[in-house]
Structures are given as C-alpha cells and as structure tokens.
Amino acid sequence: MGEHVRLEVADGVGTIRLDRPKMNAISFAVQAELREVAREATEREDVRAVVLWGGERVFAAGNDVKEMAEVSYTGMVDKAGSVQSAVTAIAAIPKPVVAAINGYALGGGCELALAADVRIAAENAVLGQPEILLGIIPGAGGTQRLARLVGPAKAKDLMFTGRFVKADEALTIGLVDRVVPAAEVYDAALAWAGQFSAAASFALRAVKESVDQGLEVDLGTGLAIERTQFAAVFATEDAEIGLRSFVENGPGKAQFVGR
C-alpha cells in the first residue's frame, strides 16, 4: 500500500483511492503508486471491477505544478514517459473501471478520469484541461483520450481555452456518463462496478480489449481483433457454463466462476 494511493477490496470490487490532501495533486511519487496499484488490481482475482475515487471533496485537481516547475526540458524528456504510463496503467486494467468524480478533476486529474471506462460525476463536479494557462499542454494522454471521447472540435476548444466544465455541460458533451448528487457519487460508482462481481470476467476483458484496440485501427483490423477475441472466449469455462445455462434455463441465470 502506497502513501497516497491504496487499493481497498470488498465484494469483488477494488477501490483505487487517491489520498493526498488537500487536492490530491498527482506528484511523480503518486504516479509511481498509481502504476503499482494498477498492477495489483490487474493481478488480484478477487477484484472483478474497479472504482477510481479521490474522496468526497476532490477527485484530483491536477499534476503537482510546484514539482513540475522545477523540471528542465531535459528532465521532462526523461519523465514524460513516466507521466503518461501512470494513467495508461489505469486504462490498461483489463476489468471494468469507473471513475467516481467529486469536486475538481482538472489537468492530470481529468486525464486520470479519462482512463476509466465510465465516469460518474457529482452535481458540483468541475472538469477541464487547463494546462494551456500554464503555457504547457496535457501530457498524460489528454490530447488523445479527450479527443476520442468527445470529438476533436470539443476537445480542442477545452484545451485551447483551458476553461472549466461543470457537470451539466460535461454530461451534454459526453465527458461524463452520469451526474448524481455529490453524496451519492461513490455509492453509484460502487453499484455500477458491483454488477460485475459475479460476471464472466474473461468475456468482460475481451470486450474491453476489443473496443480499446479497435479504436486505434481501421474497421477491418478491428473486426479481425473481434473475431480473435470472440473465438478465444469459447475456451473459457464461463462460456461453457453460460451457453449451457441458456439452453437449459433461459437467459440471465448462469453462475459464472471467472475462468
């Protein structure tokens, strides 16, 4: 367990909890802890889905600006890969991941939320990529993931201006998927993740990898990825259980084992 990032597991759901008061600024040390906790969430069989949460007050207000201000060009050449890899590690968790967003999710915090599969935001949540106001650009995947999520024009507007987006607009443009009262954010995310605690985990992984990899290639290559994944899940015990259960008992009654 890291100093500022920890994995808490209950009933098949792992919560990756950021805890660096006051604003969960993402330092280089926090990035290292994110990589480690992503590895743990990936490897643990008792984790079927993941909630990414910064607590009731703030998700993450951004990367540690004071720390970055001390880094030279040559220093950032060495560190830029590390900055990206922390968020990429979260995105690569082969299980459903939901970001529970209270308060600010700005800069590196917004990029971290973009790494989730689904984003549930509080009514008072504020998101954005304000790096341009510091004379820099998003460096942890924001220029790529944001454009893929909301489209290039909206993404450029947000990154050109650095403006903040409130929850209602974030929902309208597709930056978040649900908006709920602030007190309900974590419970809503937990409920979403909890529905996968007894699901066919290898099929979930195949869906996530097919979609994520398919977005990076042309349609024909994406269909080839899908064919490979589709055939592969027939080697799982869960596929045998699910198909037999449907034939014998109808839909929705299979008791999967995660293998």
In tens, the pLDDT along 45-101 reads: 999 999 999 999 999 998 888 888 988 898 888 888 888 999 999 999 999 999 999
Higher pLDDT, 132 or 65: 132
Tell me how crowded residue 76 is: count the other CB atoms within 10 A of its CB. Answer: 14
Q: How far apart are CA 177 and CA 214, in angstroms?
A: 21
- Burial class of residue 191 in the structure, from the number of CB atoms within 10 Å of its CB (0-12 exposed, 13-18 middle, 19+ buried): middle
| 34/83 Cα distance (integer angstroms) | 11
Q: What is the pLDDT of residues 151-210, one digit of tens each?
A: 999 999 999 999 999 999 999 999 999 999 999 999 999 999 999 999 999 999 999 999
How many Cβ atoms sit within 10 Å of the Cβ of residue 80? 13
Its sign, for the CA torsion 51, 55, 56, 61, is negative
Q: Quote the percentage of the chain above a pLDDT of 90.
A: 88
Percent of the chain with pLDDT over 70: 100
Length of the chain: 259
What is the per-residue pLDDT for 252?
85
> How far from chain centre, in Å, is Cα 87?
8
| Sequence-ordered alpha helix ranges (H) in 19-151 | 28-43, 65-68, 73-91, 108-114, 142-150
**Confidence at residue 64, expressed as pLDDT on a 0 to 100 scale:** 85
In angstroms, the Cα distances linking 89 to 94, 110, 119, 137, 226 are: 10, 15, 17, 20, 23
Strand ranges across the sheet with 178-180: 5-10, 13-18, 49-53, 97-101, 118-122, 178-180
Domain with CATH 1.10.12 in the chain: 201-249
Query: Residue 108 is encoded by which pair of tokens?
Result: 């590196």
**Predicted local confidence at residue 63, as pLDDT:** 86
pLDDT of res. 244: 92
What is residue 80's predicted lDDT score, i.e. its pLDDT? 84
> Of the candidates 33, 161, 51, which has an alpha carbon nearest to the alpha carbon of residue 113?
51
Tokens of 160: 């050109």
Please compute the mean of the pLDDT values over residues 120-142 and round it to a whole number.
96
Q: Is the pLDDT of residue 1 over 80?
A: no
Residues 236-249 have a mean pLDDT of: 93
Q: Which residue has the tokens 């889905």?
A: 49
**Predicted structure pTM score:** 0.93
Q: Where in the chain is the domain with CATH 3.90.226.10?
A: 5-194
Predicted pLDDT at 77: 87
User: 201-249: which CATH architecture?
Assistant: Orthogonal Bundle (1.10)
What's the average model confidence in pLDDT over 204-229?
96
Q: Is the pLDDT of residue 145 over 80?
A: yes
Evaluate whether the domain defined by 5-194 bears CATH number 3.90.226.10.
yes
What integer pLDDT is reported at residue 134 of this predicted model? 94
Output the CA–CA distances (angstroms, integers) from residue 107 to 27, 43, 207, in the order listed. 12, 28, 29
User: Per-residue confidence at 138, pLDDT binned at 50, 70, 90?
Assistant: very high
